[in-house]
Amino acid sequence: MKIYFIILATIFLIIMGIYFSRYIGYKSVYRSYQTISELKDHESYTIKKLTGKELYYQSGLRFADTGKDDSGSPGYIYYDTLQHNLWVETTERLDRKDGHLPYPFEEWLNIDLNGNTIAVKPDSSMLKAPGVVLKSDISNTYKWDDLKTQFYLEFFFKEKFNWSSLNPFKGIGSLNGASSHTWKGMAYFKLLMQKNAIHFRINTANITNYQMELYRLPPQYTDRETVLLYIHDKYFDKKETGLYLITGKSKN
């Protein structure tokens, strides 16, 4: 019996040793990763947060001056091909002073390719303009663990598990009796660019579909590499949610 416990203790120590060695190793490898909002001084790219609000999903019918949708797939960002700038509609819920339920508020942001807000207009004042709705590289079936893509999840470090989901009595009385098994932790991403990769981290959960959108502005619209990254999901760190403009730095 004593030998049995010694064997069990040895196996346990080996497993814990492997776990902590991996923990220290991964912490060392990804220690240099910053959040996307901290990456303002990247060696090859300028990263600027354009807004921290949620964006409104659009179709080309909202913009096309011909009255028909010639802009391709719907999305969050519209590029004005005449003025060469961006249009996005933000949406948020504002609290009422009378204590009633919050009400939705939308407004348009007109932004140039340097990340400067040119104009802010109410939702009702948006005019038709020639252009295209940018198509996201992220589809509904996007595989974040596919290392052959241009944007992927390098590693997810599990930090907290909702152990209450393992309670066999959890969910009794509900419609489906189901419970959610969720790990919370730090996600480390790699975004491949023309010059070099951009690495960043963000607090999130191991959900199957991250609410992130990536837009690469076609080269016929700009003479420098321009990418827009939209992050918005209830599982993400709220400080990091928003729309980011990533542009290549000019050569000295």
Q: What is the pLDDT of residues 90-103, one digit of tens each?
A: 988 877 776 677 77
Q: Where are the domains of the chain?
A: 34-248
CB 233 within 8 A of CB 241: yes
Q: Where are the beta strands (DSSP E) in 22-124?
A: 45-51, 54-55, 78-80, 85-94, 103-111, 117-122
Q: What is the pLDDT of residues 119-168, one digit of tens each?
A: 998 877 766 677 888 989 998 888 888 999 999 999 887 776 655 555 45
Closest CA to 45 of 250, 204, 252: 250
Going 140 to 146 to 150 to 153, the CA torsion angle's sign is: positive
pLDDT of residue 69: 47
Least confident interval from 12-16, 85-89, 179-183, 223-227: 12-16
Q: Quick one: how many helices (H) and strands (E) in the chain?
A: 1, 13
How many CB atoms within 10 Å of residue 30? 15
For residue 10, what is the DSSP state?
H
pTM over 0.85: no
pLDDT at residue 182 tops 70: no
Least confident interval from 84-88, 179-183, 211-215, 230-234: 179-183
pLDDT mean across residues, the chain: 77
- What Rg, from alpha-carbon coordinates, does the chain have? 23
Higher per-residue confidence, 130 vs 68: 130
Max mean pLDDT range (97-106, 177-186, 187-196): 187-196
d(C-alpha 61, C-alpha 67), whole Å: 6
